Chain A
Amino acid sequence: MNPVSHENTKIRVTDLSFFYREREVLKKVNVGFAESKITALIGPSGAGKSTFLITLNRLWESIPEARMTGKVEIKFSGMYRDIYEKSFPLPTLRRRVGMVFQTPNPLPMSIYRNVAFPLKLAGEKDRKIISQKVEEALDRAYLWDEVKDRLNEDAINLSGGQQQRLCIARALVMEPEVLLLDEPTSSLDDSAGRVIEDLILSLKEKLTILVVSHYLEQVKRLADKSIRFSEGSVIN
């Protein structure tokens, strides 16, 4: 009963179940996500939304005592790839599927180095390319004008909203195709949250975006489609 498998499906999830210790957090989830659209994941706390997100970049594999079955395919350059295939390198996957967390998590380093960090991890050495990409990413994240004169300051000095935009810039710098957002505005005040919403909307042309949200108003403003989770299952 896979509901979506059209031509423009970017992510295809089949029979995905997830266990933490003995608890079944996700139960046989079948769902698809359209390319260049914003899909909101909604539902009560503990329904498995955040867990679902980290099955799409395999981040759960770093969490002890977690286990998963099922299949996740993402279309990269026109071809569906099983992201759990052994031959699929994890770093590559995570550069193509970016993620932003609920609480802004800049690393304890300068603003510039935060955004340049993924490039450094990927082995980029050319300082020119790095600084150009950092500027682009900060610009896309609506942050460049606010920080261009203080790039070497510690990122911790930024406000909460700025920190979250910095984290979005950091996720964008590798030019991912999918962006996972786990309640990106829930730790921010309304006006800072609105800036992030505008920013997310501006990104959807080039990106497939999944956003976990608790706010119905926000879902209305952002999402092209919403998927409701309840007790580990998707309800249509």
Chain B
Amino acid sequence: MLDRVVIAFSWISAVIIVGAVCAIFGHIILNGAGTIKLSLIFGDVAPLDALLLKRQVLNGLFPAVIGTLLLILISVMWAVPLGLGTGIYLAEYAGAISKKIFNLFFDILAGIPSIVIGLFGFALAIFLHKNVSNNIGPCLLISSMALAFLVLPYIIRTTQVALEELPREMRLTALALGATRLQNIRHVLLPRALSGITTGVILAIGRCAEDTAVILLTGVVAMAGIPHSLMGSYEALPFYIYYISSQYTSPEELLTGYGASLILLVLCIGLFSAAFLIQKRLTYITLYRA
């Protein structure tokens, strides 16, 4: 009897979650699909001119798309090497005590609300503005660093777990053949852990793509155009969605928010696929290339 209840509960849970995901996607697609036109992205500017940065797009999502893409790439660029290094250290080098301390520290880091990290980024920008240079303010650089901080725990944890899960025999194989510790990590352990690590990178990409709280305080603005440098402010899709859904003046305008959501979704799917393909390619290169 209890068995049946548990099974029924599991089934219902799965159905609820799948249903919720479908409902969200369906809602966005139903409302957003109609707004997806070239003009939503490029406004009155010819797409080619916009892509080649010949003319600025003033009434389209193009700057937000580019802003979000840049933001994700730069944040991940900070976070991946740092997170990988830390994860490798924790899994392969750290002693029992330092491991405990670091694990606690990174669990706390993972639990910090993004708005707090945003506030810290903001404070940092103000500090730099006052003490280093008047030209520094909330900008792409500060945002990407704050976001990297936000997603570091994902990458650290998945790297560490992926390495620690490898069976002991596999750890000893290369060592018994005369590999140094570093060679073992580089040639055997990391390639085997790559798919696990990619999960962390994908989580990080998703988090960077959606987070609004951090960038709200560290440099995103509604109308900035394409950022011309790391020190510039920028636009981003999640901020646009937030902004339009709280400030819309007509139902049509609200619908463009759905359009932006749809574009953000597609963007994420594209980046996830890219991360996945890179992982496949790297695994192949590190393990199979003759």
Give the B-binding residues of A (Cβ under 8 A).
Answer: 57, 59, 62-63, 90-92, 94-95, 98-99, 101, 103, 105, 107-110, 112-113, 117-118, 120-122, 152, 154, 170-171, 174
Contacts and interface: CB of A to CB of B under 8 A. Distances in A.
B178 A121 contact: yes
Contacts of B173: 101, 105, 107
Interface stretch (B142-150, B164-172, B199-207, B224-232): B164-172
B174 A122 contact: no
Contact of A109 (B170, B177, B288): B288
Interface string B183-221: 100011000100000000000000000000000000000
Nearest to A94: B178
Nearest to B288: A109
Nearest to B169: A105
Contacts of A109: 287-288
Contacts of B277: none
B169 A101 contact: yes
A99 B172 CA distance: 10
B290 A117 contact: no
B177 A117 contact: yes
Contacts of A170: 177
B241 to A, nearest CB: 43
Top-8 shortest CB links A-B: A94-B178, A91-B178, A95-B178, A118-B177, A99-B176, A109-B287, A121-B179, A105-B173
A91 B180 contact: yes
A174 B287 contact: no
B175 A105 contact: no
B165 to A, nearest CB: 15
Given A105-B170, A121-B187, A59 B288 contact: no
A117 B174 contact: yes
A166 to B, nearest CB: 12
A86 to B, nearest CB: 16
